[in-house]
């Protein structure tokens, strides 16, 4: 199960109470107050952990609380402070308040931490209240209650490149040939039900991360189909691989598919629609694909979009695609249409 959005409740530990105590040694007359302070409550933190790839663990446990501070004791013994709570989340998690929507932080680096609930101080013992006019105070403070709140966790995968396109365009097959990732592959719509990350080895011993995203359909930005749930995972990418299906059996025109998906990107986020794209014409191994490829090539030339023709099944054209993506990630523009 892939979960990329969830609400959890986090709470800091309560502060320990101060102590009311007096020295009672036999040979210490008028010993005076010696009640210690309570310990501070533990704070609650979120920490980015690269070993995690989903928010699934939070589906089974929603409430998290740091350790409370210990109460003060006599003989001026202060209570121990509560241990901090560190909750591990995947790298790429955006944290916000559930009720207000205010963003609290974005955990994009392994080991990065975010304080979500600060532990309060413990109460003062009666030794703190002794004065020249009040030598035997009988008061102490209670520890303060640790703050708690509901927070919203939203995972946005950290991929260099995202593969977008209609269902069954061949995205999973392409990613499986470019990397060691093994997404589910089948001849029916919405084979990919969750994003899949793969690491691609480029020339010069460089690598980049590619994301196989569920297929988009018209209306995805407003909630139709499955892809709308995962459009957020394209927001961090530095480029998009727009996969077009040249198979005449789909009953769709590649040029119309290109316009439809671009319209969904624009409806979801204008910034996302402006992300650099390389158009990849897939299934060139099919006998009837040549005419459609010429149509796509003319369209890309008019729009100034780079084009790479591939066969995700046979692997033809994939080395060229890797080279084009790698050049873009190195800061060079996408290659000219081929």
Q: What would the pLDDT profile of 57-74 be if each residue is shown by its tens digit?
A: 898 999 999 999 999 999
The predicted-structure confidence for 72-101, as pLDDT tens digits, reads as follows: 999 999 999 999 999 999 998 999 999 999
Higher pLDDT, 267 or 297: 297
- Report whether pLDDT(136) > 70: yes
Cα–Cα distance for residue pair 213/268, rounded to 1 Å: 15
* Winning range, highest mean pLDDT, from 98-102, 156-160, 313-317: 98-102
The predicted-structure confidence for 173-201, as pLDDT tens digits, reads as follows: 888 888 865 655 444 444 444 567 788 88
pLDDT (0 to 100) of residue 104: 96
When pLDDT is averaged across residues 103-114 and rounded to a whole number, the result is: 95
Cα–Cα distance for residue pair 207/329, rounded to 1 Å: 10
pTM score: 0.71
pLDDT (0 to 100) of residue 76: 93
pLDDT (0 to 100) of residue 218: 55
CB 231 within 8 A of CB 272: yes
Please, what are the domains in the chain? 5-155 (2.70.210.12), 161-329 (3.40.50.300)
241 strand-pairing partners: 163, 278
pLDDT (0 to 100) of residue 181: 58
Higher pLDDT, 251 or 294: 294
Cα–Cα distance for residue pair 280/162, rounded to 1 Å: 12
Mean pLDDT of the chain: 85
The predicted-structure confidence for 17-54, as pLDDT tens digits, reads as follows: 999 999 888 777 778 899 999 999 999 999 999 888 78
Tokens 């121990």 belong to 80
Cα–Cα distance for residue pair 305/295, rounded to 1 Å: 13
Residues in the chain: 338
- Report whether pLDDT(225) > 50: no
Cα–Cα distance for residue pair 174/279, rounded to 1 Å: 13
When pLDDT is averaged across residues 325-338 and rounded to a whole number, the result is: 69
Q: Per-residue confidence at 172, pLDDT binned at 50, 70, 90? A: confident
Higher pLDDT, 30 or 312: 312
Query: Which of 47, 33, 34, 42 shows the shortest CA–CA distance to 15?
Result: 42
pLDDT (0 to 100) of residue 83: 97
The 3-state DSSP class for residue 201 equals: strand
């Amino acid at each position: 199960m892939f979960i990329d959005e969830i609400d959890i409740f986090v709470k800091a530990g309560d502060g320990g109470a101060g102590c009311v105590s007096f020295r009672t040694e036999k040979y210490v007359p008028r010993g005076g107050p010696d009640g210690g302070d309570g310990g501070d409550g533990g704070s609650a933190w979120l920490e980015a952990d690269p070993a995690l790839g989903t928010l699934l663990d939070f589906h089974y446990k929603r409430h998290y609380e740091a350790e409370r501070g210990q109460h003060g004791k006599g003989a001026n013994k202060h209570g121990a402070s509560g241990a901090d709570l560190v909750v591990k989340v995947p790298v790429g998690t955006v944290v916000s308040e559930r009720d207000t929507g205010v963003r609290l932080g974005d955990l994009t680096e392994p080991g990065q931490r975010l304080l979500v609930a600060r532990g309060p101080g413990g109460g003062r013992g009666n030794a703190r209240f002794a004065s020249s006019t009040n030598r035997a105070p009988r008061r102490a403070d209670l520890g303060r209650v640790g703050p708690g709140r509901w927070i919203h966790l939203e995972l946005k995968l950290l991929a260099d490149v995202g593969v977008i396109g209609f269902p069954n365009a061949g995205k999973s097959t392409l990613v499986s040939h470019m990397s060691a990732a093994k997404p589910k592959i089948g001849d029916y719509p919405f084979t990919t039900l969750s994003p899949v990350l793969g690491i691609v080895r480029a020339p010069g011993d460089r690598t980049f991360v590619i994301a196989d995203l569920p297929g988009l359909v018209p209306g995805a930005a407003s909630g139709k189909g499955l892809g709308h749930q995962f459009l957020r995972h394209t927001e961090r990418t530095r480029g998009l691989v727009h996969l077009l299906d040249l198979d005449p059996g789909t009953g769709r025109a590649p040029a119309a598919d290109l316009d439809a998906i671009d319209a969904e990107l624009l409806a979801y986020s204008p910034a996302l629609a402006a992300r650099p794209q390389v158009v990849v014409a897939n299934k060139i191994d099919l006998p009837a694909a040549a005419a459609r490829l010429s149509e796509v090539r003319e369209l890309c030339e008019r729009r100034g979009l780079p084009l790479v023709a591939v066969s995700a099944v046979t692997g033809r054209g994939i080395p060229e695609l890797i080279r084009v993506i790698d050049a873009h990630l190195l800061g060079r523009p996408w290659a000219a249409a081929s």
